Each structure stands twice: as C-alpha cells, then as structure tokens.
Amino acid sequence: MWRGAGLALASLVSLGCGAPTEIEDVPYDSRYGDSTQLDLYLPNESGPQPAIMLIHGGAWRFGDKRHFDNAARRFARSGYVAASINYRLVPGGEFPNAPRDTACALAFLQKNADEYGIDPKRIAVMGYSAGGHLASLLGVAYDTPSLAPDCSSGRPERPAAVIPGAGAHDLRDRADARWIQDFMGGTLGELPDEYEQASPIAQIDADEPPYLLVSGGGDWIGATEQSRWMRDALRAQGNEADELRLAGGGHLLQPGADPGELQIEVLLETPEAWLVIADFLARHIGEP
Amino acid sequence: MKGGRLVAVLLLLAGAAGAQPKGKRNAVSHKPFALASSGVVVQYERYLAERWSALAGLGARRAAREDFRSVTLSFVSEGRFWLSRRDWASDYRGMAGPYLSVAADAARTRVTYVPTDRDVGAAWRIQESLRFGNRFVIWNLQEITPAASLDVIHDIDEQGRLAPGTRTTLGLDFTVGWVF
C-alpha cells in the first residue's frame, strides 16, 4: 500500500506533463454544421494508438462534446487517442438520426485513422446516459442496414469494445417516458418496429464486441436494471459482457473520496469505474 | 460588487459573537450519505482557539456490485473557521452556526473481478475542498451540519495504466453527531 502511495505521489508530481494536442470542431459530416463535429485529443506518442470515441449524454436533447473533455484529456495523456463527438439532438436528432451520426463518426475515425495516428481495429466506444444508449446501440447495430449512415465516410466496422454508462438498453420498457417518446418521434404503439430497432437488447447477435456496462444503484434517471438485462442477453448469445454497479451511485451525484460526500460527476468518473475501465481497455484494445 | 457584499456579511457574522467559546469543545459525527454506498464515515472534531476547530476522520465503503467488488478506505481532515459561533435557531453557542473550512481527503480503492477473483487494480483519490456549512445544535447535544464545497479531485491509478487526472466539481456534505 505504501509503495502505491509513493507511486501516487510521484504521479501527482508529474501531473501536467505530456499535455495532449487538442484539435477542436473537426467535421465528420459537413452537412449538419456544429452538430456533427468532434474534438480530438492526440497523445504525444507517435504511431497507431488505440482510441476511444466518447458520446455525451443529455436525454438526446441537451449536451455537448465538451462534457467529456476531462476524461478525454486523461485518456490522451495515457496514450490513447480520444475523440469526443457531437451528434444531432432533438429536434432534428430523432431516431434514427442520432444513431446514424454516431455510426458516421466511428466510420470517420476508422477511415482517417492514419491521419490521426489511430489503429482502426482498436477503437472503443464509450458513452453516458443518452450517450450510453447510443454507444450500446452502435456496438450491436453498427452493421444494421436501417441504421447505416449516409455520410461520405460510409458504414463503420465493428468497434473493438463498448462501455455504456447509465444508458437505456430497452426503450420499449421505458416507453412512457416523455424524453424517450421525443427521441423516438412517437409512442411505442405508433412506432413498434422503430422502438425495437432503437433498443440495443433487441439487436444482439453472436460475435458482438465486448461490453462493460456501468450503472448506479441509486440512479433514478438511468435504467439501472437494464444494464443487467443487457449483460445477461449478451452473455446468452456467447458474447463477453460485465457489469459494474455502484451502490449509492446516482445519475449525476456520486460518493467522493470522503464516502459521506456527494459530488456532481458521472458514474464513469468514480474511482471504481476508472479502475474497471482501465483494465477493460487494456484487455480489449491494448495499452498504448 | 457581489464579492464585496459577501465579505461584508461574513465579517458581520464574525463580529457578532464574543471572543471565547461558551459551548462544548468536542464533537463526534457520522455522515448518513455514506450509508447509501455501503459505507461509513466517523469523525472527531476539537475546538482549538480563536474560532478555529480541527476535524479528522476515517471512512470506508464497499460500493461495487454485480461482477465486481471494491473496498475503499478514506482519511478525511478539515480545518474550520467559525464565523459567528452561534446557532441562531437554538441560540446554542460554541462550534455552531456558519463556518468556512478547508478540507483534504485521501482514499484508496481496490477492485476485484468476482467471477475469477482477479485483482483489477487500485487507485488513489486525493481531494482538496473549500467548504461553507452551517451547524445546527438541538437539545444542547445533537448536531446537524449541512455543507457545500468546491472540490479539486486528483485520480491516480497505482498501476499507471491511466495518467493522473485532475478536475474540479461541487460537493454536498451532511453530518449528524453529538457535541460534548
């Protein structure tokens, strides 16, 4: 433990070294302006590096790619290429537009991998809340014809790993929620096929990428139980899937270093989640 | 302008009480929020002098579920400056009423992957906070202290798989305890 404390202190002293190169507002689909841009965080290491595509939350209606800038900088300082994306929001981002944008962004990164020093076979997708849903859907439906993007980058290849945080995986189960109806553009009764297409749990086949699902036991916005359903459904088809559930973890309030304090942050930035994510990435897209 | 008003209010509060504390000099408390993450925090506070008190405590939580287990051990510390030394609601005098403080916490978390009992790794979180709170004392014994803070967080992976990360956020704190 004390050796660890020494390492921690040394790491803290070195904080700020190796600042990544940041390229803002890169258009991955020039047709929709700011809505389809991404920010790139490039590590100092040269050569093809594993990458992480980050998808922000906000009930498909709010939010911005800058929500993930702290995480993206940390990934980039660690040697990963990080790309935090915008996507079309409601109104305008109704299903299937937002999922098509995320597929287009992934295809853009794969197609331009050489330019940004990315290994195109080692790109993980991570999202939170609505972004968790979009990441989960991209993982299982990247090759679904109805969700194929019509942007110039074409269709994406399979992502190497998927990390959905606090996301919904079966929209049919939460179909009474207004924000889901707004995203879907109608009710479950009106659009049963679309609800099924938008539900990652209904799209699972064998040979899906490995999943790490992160959920909060006290998350009254996110669909906590759905993470377990998704994990079990993936495993039932022979896929690799694990779930980290954090007792006391809310949607935007988490216990801090002082377990009695609640802090405004997302589940993915708790110490438990950082540890599990670091391990998951190292095993599935490799350490930089 | 707003900053000037705030300083004026704080100075007025600070000048509203006498120089010597009339209340009790010790407090022991716990943090109910910790229970939600299967945790506990117990802390002791001692009045020092001239409006200052010092607090130290230990905490633990076992928050990870499903395919993972975790153990977090924490050390919390805080130095408080009591602005009025008076709970206006109960008229209790001593370590009560509004305060400003600086806090420093350190926590180490270790995670295990349950299906294979594999060690996932360990990480440190170090945190500094500026806090504003208010202690209510009832029955001359029970204290209830809500607080809000601006936190600077440092996350450090012991294995070095991820570079250290630093960010700021807001925190909410709440203690329940006893003064004696």
With respect to residue B45, please indicate whether it lies within any of the assigned structural domains.
Answer: yes
With respect to residue B174, please indicate whether it lies within any of the assigned structural domains.
Answer: yes
Is residue B28 predicted with pLDDT exceeding 70? yes
Mean pLDDT of A226-243: 97
| One-letter amino acid for residue B108 of the chain | R
Distance from CA of B111 to the nearest CA of A (A): 7
For residue A248, what is the nearest residue in chain B, using CA coordinates?
Answer: B37
Residue A3: band (very low, low, confident or very high) from pLDDT cuts 50, 70, 90: low
What's the mean per-residue pLDDT of chain B? 90
Residue A16: band (very low, low, confident or very high) from pLDDT cuts 50, 70, 90: very low
What is the pLDDT at residue A6? 53
- B124/A8 CB distance under 8 A: yes
B48: containing domain: 28-179
Quick one: what percent of chain A has pLDDT higher than 70? 93
Q: Which of the residues B117, B161, B174 would you substitute to probe the A interface, choosing the one with the greatest number of A C-beta atoms within 10 Å? A: B161
| Between B84 and A10, residue with greater pLDDT | B84
Quick one: what percent of chain B has pLDDT higher than 70? 87
What is the pLDDT at residue B14? 47
What is the pLDDT at residue A4? 54
Is residue B10 predicted with pLDDT exceeding 60? no
- A272/B37 CB distance under 8 A: no
For residue B119, what is the nearest residue in chain A, using CA coordinates?
Answer: A279
Domains identified in chain A and CATH numbers? 20-284 (3.40.50.1820)
- CATH number of B77's domain: 2.40.160
What's the mean per-residue pLDDT of chain A? 93
State how far the Cα of B74 lies from the Cα of B110, in Å rounded to an integer. 12
DSSP assignment of A235-280 equals HHTT--EEEEEETT--SSEEE-SSTT-EEE--GGGSHHHHHHHHHH
Backbone phi, psi, residue A122, to 5°: -125, 55
Is residue A11 predicted with pLDDT exceeding 80? no
Residue B17: band (very low, low, confident or very high) from pLDDT cuts 50, 70, 90: very low
pLDDT, tens digit, 9 for 90 and up, residues A55-81: 999 999 999 999 999 999 999 999 999
What is the pLDDT at residue A223? 75
pTM: 0.90
Q: Which of the residues A229, A258, A279 would you substitute to probe the B interface, choosing the one with the greatest number of B C-beta atoms within 10 Å? A: A258
**What is the separation, in whole angstroms, between the first and last Cα of chain B?**
40
What is the pLDDT at residue B22? 60
What is the pLDDT at residue A47? 81
State how far the Cα of A198 lies from the Cα of A250, in Å rounded to an integer. 24
With respect to residue B143, please indicate whether it lies within any of the assigned structural domains.
Answer: yes
pLDDT, tens digit, 9 for 90 and up, residues B32-88: 999 999 999 999 999 998 899 999 999 999 999 999 999 999 999 999 999 998 898
Mean pLDDT of B159-169: 96
Least Cα distance to A75 among A58, A57, A54 occurs for A54
For residue B166, what is the nearest residue in chain A, using CA coordinates?
Answer: A70
- Angle, helix A130-141 to helix A97-111, in steps of 10 degrees: 60
- A271/B109 CB distance under 8 A: yes
A25: tokens are 């507002």
**A156: preceding bond cis by omega (within 30 degrees):** no
- A260/B65 CB distance under 8 A: no
Residue A46: band (very low, low, confident or very high) from pLDDT cuts 50, 70, 90: confident
Contact B37, B65 (CB under 8 A): no
pLDDT, tens digit, 9 for 90 and up, residues A123-170: 999 999 999 999 999 999 999 998 999 999 999 999 999 999 999 999
What is the pLDDT at residue B23? 67
Please state, as a whole number, how many other Cβ atoms lie within 10 Å of the Cβ of residue B81.
15
Distance from CA of A56 to the nearest CA of B (A): 17
- B36/A78 CB distance under 8 A: no
With respect to residue B11, please indicate whether it lies within any of the assigned structural domains.
Answer: no
Q: Which residues of A touch B167 (CB under 8 A)?
A: 70, 269
Q: Which of the residues B28, B37, B131 would you substitute to probe the A interface, choosing the one with the greatest number of A C-beta atoms within 10 Å? A: B37
Strands B52-61 and B92-93: unpaired
- A261/B31 CB distance under 8 A: yes
The structural domain count of chain B equals 1
Contact A45, A76 (CB under 8 A): no
For residue A260, what is the nearest residue in chain B, using CA coordinates?
Answer: B34
For residue A282, what is the nearest residue in chain B, using CA coordinates?
Answer: B161
| Between A11 and A33, residue with greater pLDDT | A33
With respect to residue B130, please indicate whether it lies within any of the assigned structural domains.
Answer: yes
Residue from the list A231, A260, A263 with its beta carbon closest to the beta carbon of B151 = A263
With respect to residue B155, please indicate whether it lies within any of the assigned structural domains.
Answer: yes
- B163/A18 CB distance under 8 A: yes
